[in-house]
């Protein structure tokens, strides 16, 4: 929701997490939040470089929707950078508000 235009500065407030537009609609809109893909890629980089976790020890447990897909894409991108075959990533998913989990490919 666009809020105010004081001195040509537009304020934007996101009340709930959602997939944000990565391409701002005009020059006064700034996206300062990392995407889910960027967040998970940074977390994987931390696991690999600081915690010395091996790529094959990383699995993804995420919601089966756009948010989960975005997070998985960040993990896949980070692992691809270190030469890991992304087809080998273990991925478990769940439907929102569900008690069951399934493997996805």
| pLDDT, tens only, 4-45 | 445 554 444 444 445 555 666 677 766 677 889 999 999 999
**What's the CATH class of domain 36-105?**
alpha beta
Q: Which candidate, 7, 33, 6, places its Cα nearest to that of 22? A: 33
Please tell me the predicted confidence (pLDDT) of residue 30.
Answer: 67
Q: Biggest alpha carbon distance in the chain?
A: 51
Rounded to whole angstroms, the Cα distance separating 27 from 70 reads 25
Does pLDDT of 81 surpass 80? yes
What pLDDT does 5 receive?
Answer: 46
Angle, in degrees to the nearest 10, between helices 36-49 and 66-81: 40
Query: pTM of the predicted model, to two decimals?
Result: 0.71
What is the arrangement of strands in the sheet containing 101-103, beginning at the earlier edge strand? 59-63, 90-94, 101-103
DSSP run (H or E) holding 61: strand 59-63
Given a cut of 80, whether residue 98 has pLDDT beyond it is yes
Percent of the chain whose predicted confidence (pLDDT) is above 70: 71
Binning pLDDT at 50, 70 and 90, where does residue 101 land?
Answer: confident
Residues 6 or more apart whose CB falls under 8 angstroms from that of 99 comprise none
């Amino acid at each position: 929701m666009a809020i105010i235009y004081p001195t040509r500065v537009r304020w934007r407030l996101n009340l709930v997490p959602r997939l944000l537009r990565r391409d701002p609609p005009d020059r006064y809109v700034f996206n300062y939040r990392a995407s889910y893909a960027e967040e998970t890629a940074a977390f994987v980089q931390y696991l690999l470089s600081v915690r010395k976790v091996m790529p094959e020890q990383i699995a993804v447990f995420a919601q089966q929707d756009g948010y989960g897909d975005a997070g998985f894409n960040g993990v896949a991108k980070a692992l691809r950078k270190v030469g890991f075959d992304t087809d080998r990533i273990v991925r478990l998913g769940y439907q929102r508000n569900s008690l069951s989990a399934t493997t996805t490919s």
